[in-house]
Amino acid sequence: FHFQCMELQCYIHPLSSILNGLRSGRYRERLSSFQESVAMDRIQRIMGVLQNPCLGEKYVSIILKMEEMLKSWFPNVKLQ
């Protein structure tokens, strides 16, 4: 589990960039305020799991789903 999280650390930067864009209103024209808040919440949760691998292995299934999703969102980011 810890190794899996460490591999996915490379996605923290692009996720942070999206989160900062959401916070600054960059996507306001395309998203409702509800969609913005849900997106921010989800991204913060994903980043929280990636940044804190000590949370436990109960998140293994979530990590596997996140890995698939992140690879499709950011095909140019290479795993470390």
Tens of pLDDT, residue by residue over 33-69, are 999 999 999 889 888 888 877 765 677 777 778 788 8
CB 49 within 8 A of CB 63: yes
Model confidence, pTM: 0.73
Q: Quick check: helix, strand or coil at residue 20?
A: helix
Q: Give dist(CA 21, CA 62) in Å, integer.
A: 25
Q: Which two structure tokens, joined as six digits, stand for 15? A: 């996720």
Angle CA 34–40–42, to nearest 5: 100
pLDDT at 56: 59
pLDDT at 67: 81
pLDDT at 80: 60
Residue 74 predicted with pLDDT over 70: yes
Tens of pLDDT, residue by residue over 24-34, are 999 888 888 99
